[in-house]
Amino acid sequence: MKTRKLAITGLLTALAIVIPFAVFFKIIIPPFSATLGAHVPMFISMLLGPEVAIMTGIGSALGFFLNLGPLIGARAFMHVFVGLLGGLLIKKGWSFSKTVIVTGPLHGLLEVLIVMPFIGFNVYDLLLITGVGTFLHHLADGFISYVIVKFLHKARVFNFTNIKHNQL
């Protein structure tokens, strides 16, 4: 990994660790919880490749584990797999928007599977609150990420050199 990419990976990972501590806008409807912006580092990291997304996902899991405990940390660990898939899709030429939409159901399903052993098979809590809630949170953070990435790219603050123009 080149020095620049490694530095950006470190910054995105640090951001993923800090967000659970710094963001005060949280929605909690047990067993579901959402921290606005928590997926932004994961989405941006997907544009830099699967290995960056994996590292950022691990950072997210660590941050949520330290701030909100093992169950939320385990749910955040699913960012590793969602980011990995997203990174691979983008590497294959998929657009950022399509990648966000396609990885959403996987994200919801993985979080449902993490929560299930703790609450049993309660369709309302699992599928509606956790699954759909995670999917909607995923889409909201995907939109926030899209705006940030477009702004950074247009302002030439950050150039995603491996990304074709039509992928953003």
Answer yes or no: are the C-beta atoms of 19 and 43 closer than 8 Å. Answer: no
* Each residue's pLDDT tens digit, 18-62: 999 998 888 888 878 899 999 999 999 999 999 999 999 999 999
Q: What pLDDT is stored for residue 47 in this prediction?
A: 93
Q: Where are the domains of the chain?
A: 7-21+38-167
40 closest CA partner among 159, 146, 130:
146
Amino acid 121: pLDDT: 79
109 touches 102 (CB < 8 A)? no
The residues pairing with 47 across neighbouring beta strands, listed in sequence order, are none
- Backbone phi, psi, residue 64, to 5°: -70, -35
The pTM assigned to this predicted structure is: 0.90
Q: What is the DSSP string of 67-124?
A: HH-HHHHHHHHHHHHHHHHHHHHHHTT--HHHHHHHHHHHHHHHHHHHHHHHH-S-HI
Question: Which residue ranges in the chain fall short of pLDDT 50?
Answer: none
Burial label for 11, CB within 10 Å (0-12, 13-18, 19+), is middle
